[in-house]
Amino acid sequence: MTATAQENAIAVADAFLAQSEIPLYINGAWKPARDGKTFEVRRPSTGERLATISSAGAADVDEAVQAARSAFPAWSDLDTRDRAVLLHRLADAMERDQDVLASLESRNIGKSLPEALDFDILFAAQGYRYFADLATHTTLSRPLPLANMEASQVHRPRGVCGFVIPWNAPSILTVWGIAPALAAGNTVVLKPAELAPLSVIYLARLAEEVGFPSGVINVVTGLGSEAGDALANHPGLNYISFTGSPQTGKLVAEAAARNLVPSKMELGGKGAAVIFPDIDVKDTAEKLGMAIVRNAGQTCCTATRWFIHDDVYDDLVSASVDFLERIRLGPDTDHATQLGAVISEGQRSRIQSYLDQGLEQGATPLLEGGATQLPGLENGYYVSPVLMTGRPDNVCAREEIFGPVAYVMPFSDEADVIEQVNSSHYGLANSVWSEDLNRAYRVAERMVSGNSWINAHNVFAYGLPYGGVNLSGWGGGVNSQQTYLDYLRPMSVVRPLT
């Protein structure tokens, strides 16, 4: 990309942020909250205010749900191929404005522009294309072979789907939610996280530009306790998908259950990496190191518990410390930043509080890091990487910290390490590292979670199912053909022949 193109993209993002208030998007119109409330979004790299956003209340959420209800009949009656065309056009517009979106995402999340572009924006655009193509190639009606009856099973869209998402990957978590729902013919009301709504609002602009009909996509920015609560409790929903912490997930699932609304829960994790001695030490250290550094470790499925075989423990710990000591901690403006700021001062304090508690409970630091300041960026929310070790019942070995931290433990026995991995209440994703593929597959399948990776961690692809079990969620996960079917209700149609 040329310097001029990049300057232009930054200027477009600047103009977007400079609005006195960034409004809600309801029924194809941009409007402030009815009660005039707003909230501020901050830039993690510097702590400065980035934008002022309209803060939806229950009345705004209700208007959005009613708009989505009104838009549903026409949208669901469209030919699947016509909906797919719009999803492809949205992906086209995202790719055209990729640098604007990446600029917003990197400023809002604290990561570098190249990381936001490659990992967030371009991968998100692909997701709209995947579900557009999947919808056009999936046959949904099938005859049922019954005596004396002409019967079939068909699938119809559910209606209005609500989405509540967290702040750690807004573009990606938006597409993982709304793309299958829209492709299947549902209309959506989306509540982004109050800490990171910017790229999602810009996406709504693009959806409007490429011609999504009014009311098909509605974005209600606001606080969790207000807009999120109102959406979760709305009886006009036909489905709700929640991504976030198990604590909030329980509230959303309870609200949905009271209204008998089916729900999908994509929750937290405490991913394990099991490392056997037959590995390339340097390569593994770099890959596991990057797993806790990318997105500042704020990735639900990342490798936060490292079980290292005794025979390679010292070598791998030493290579990991060496790699992490050299990680470039920096602001979103530095393209070479490998570890950006965490999302907020609150998140930084939460991480530091876990580290303090872990040390009080007897953990030993292998690499001392934690909350830190960078010269000239004293108000940014920086945390340098941490490796610690200790007993398996330490709070840092059990709870989700959501920062650049890994808890390291030695092991010697395969069955024993599998039991330790499975002692977690979470069940999102784990990895196993070994050149012995028989062993790797054996261990991968015995670890209880939605996803097991071999010689890699954090592997995502459209068509590869991704989801959790136990405290990590329920409801079929995301990114697969099954996800598309989750947004359809099966029904039988029958004609007796006598």
CA 394, chain centre distance (Å): 27
Asked if 259 is part of the footprint of ligand NAD (rule: CB under 6 A), the reply reads no
Catalytic residue selected from 161, 194, 300, 301: 300
* One character per residue 416-455, x = contact with ligand NAD (rule: CB under 6 A): ------------x---------------------------
Q: Does 127 bind ligand NAD (CB under 6 A)?
A: no
Q: Does 289 bind ligand NAD (CB under 6 A)?
A: no
Stretch that binds ligand NAD, among 35-43, 100-108, 162-170, 322-330 (CB under 6 A): 162-170
Size of the site for ligand NAD (CB under 6 A): 30
State yes or no: residue 269 binds ligand NAD (CB under 6 A). yes
DSSP 159-184: SEEEEE--SSSHHHHHHHHHHHHHHT
Q: Taking CB under 6 A as the rule, does residue 166 contact ligand NAD?
A: yes
Which tokens go with 95?
A: 């790719």
Instruction: Output the six-digit token pair for 20.
Output: 């006195």
Whether 337 and 328 have beta carbons less than 8 Å apart is answered as yes
Report the nearest approach of ligand NAD to the CB of residue 258 (Å).
13
CB 191 → ligand NAD: shortest distance, Å?
A: 6
Under rule CB under 6 A, residue 178 binds ligand NAD: no
Using the rule CB under 6 A, which residue among 267, 272, 316, 409 binds ligand NAD? 267
What residues have CB less than 8 Å from 478, skipping those under 6 apart? Answer: 176, 177, 180, 266, 465, 466, 467
Residue nearest to ligand NAD (CB): 224
The b/e string for 316-353 (b: 16+ C-beta within 10 A; e otherwise) is bbebbbebbeebebbbbeeeebbbbbbbbbebbeebbe
Using CB under 6 A as the binding rule, whether residue 245 contacts ligand NAD is answered as yes
Contact 392, 305 (CB under 8 A): no
Question: Taking CB under 6 A as the rule, which mask of x and - marks residues 459-498 in contact with ligand NAD?
Answer: ---------x----x-------------------------
Contacting range for ligand NAD; rule: CB under 6 A; set: 91-99, 125-133, 211-219, 242-250:
242-250
Task: Compare residues 276 and 462 and give the one whose CB is closer to ligand NAD.
Answer: 462
Determine if 110 is a binding residue for ligand NAD (CB under 6 A): no
Positive or negative torsion for Cα 241, 239, 218, 78: positive
Q: Does 248 bind ligand NAD (CB under 6 A)?
A: yes
Whole-angstrom CA distances from 462 to 91, 131, 479, 480 are 14, 9, 5, 7
Q: φ, ψ for residue 22 (rounded to 5)?
A: -90, 115
The distance of closest approach from Cβ of residue 472 to ligand NAD in the complex, given in angstroms and rounded to an integer, is 6
Active site residue 445: no
Spatial contact of 190 and 219, defined as CB atoms under 8 Å apart: yes
What is the rounded distance in angstroms from the CA atom of residue 484 to the CA atom of residue 495?
28
Q: Which of 63, 105, 266, 400 is catalytic?
A: 266
- CA triple 412-466-296, angle to 5 deg: 70
The number of C-alpha atoms within 13 Å of 240 and in the hemisphere containing its C-beta is 30
Is 161 designated active site? no
d(CA 348, CA 161): 33
Using the rule CB under 6 A, is 232 a contact of ligand NAD?
A: yes
Q: Give the C-alpha separation, 372 to 120, whole Å.
A: 26
Three-state SS string across 66-133, please? HHHHHHHHHHHHCCHHHHHHHHHHHHHHHHHCHHHHHHHHHHHHCCCHHHHHHHHHHHHHHHHHHHHH
Q: Which stretch binds ligand NAD (CB under 6 A): 60-68, 152-160, 166-174, 487-495?
A: 166-174
Q: Which of 183, 184, 207, 251 is the binder for ligand NAD (CB under 6 A)?
A: 251
Q: Specify the residue, 411 or 487, whose C-beta has the smaller distance to ligand NAD.
A: 487
Quick note: the x/- pattern for ligand NAD over 293-322, rule CB under 6 A, is -------x----------------------
Q: Is 252 in the site for ligand NAD (CB under 6 A)?
A: yes
- Burial of residue 273 (CB within 10 Å: 0-12, 13-18, 19+) is buried
Residue 225 vs 373, nearer CB to ligand NAD = 225
The one among 244, 297, 403, 404 contacting ligand NAD by CB under 6 A:
244
| Nearer of residues 405 and 417 to ligand NAD, judged by Cβ | 405
Cβ-based nearer residue to ligand NAD, 62 or 97:
62
For position 164 contacting ligand NAD by CB under 6 A, the verdict is yes
CB of 153 to ligand NAD, least distance (A): 30
Q: Does 168 bind ligand NAD (CB under 6 A)?
A: yes
16 vs 460, beta carbon nearer ligand NAD: 460
Long-range contacts of 359-364 (CB under 8 A, 24+ apart): 359/388, 361/390, 361/391, 361/394, 361/395, 361/396, 362/390, 362/391, 362/394, 363/388, 363/389, 363/390, 363/391, 363/394, 363/396, 363/407, 364/388, 364/389, 364/390
Active site residues: 266, 300
- Residues near ligand NAD (CB under 6 A): 164-168, 173, 191, 193-194, 224-225, 228-229, 232, 243-245, 248, 251-252, 266-269, 300, 400, 402, 428, 468, 473
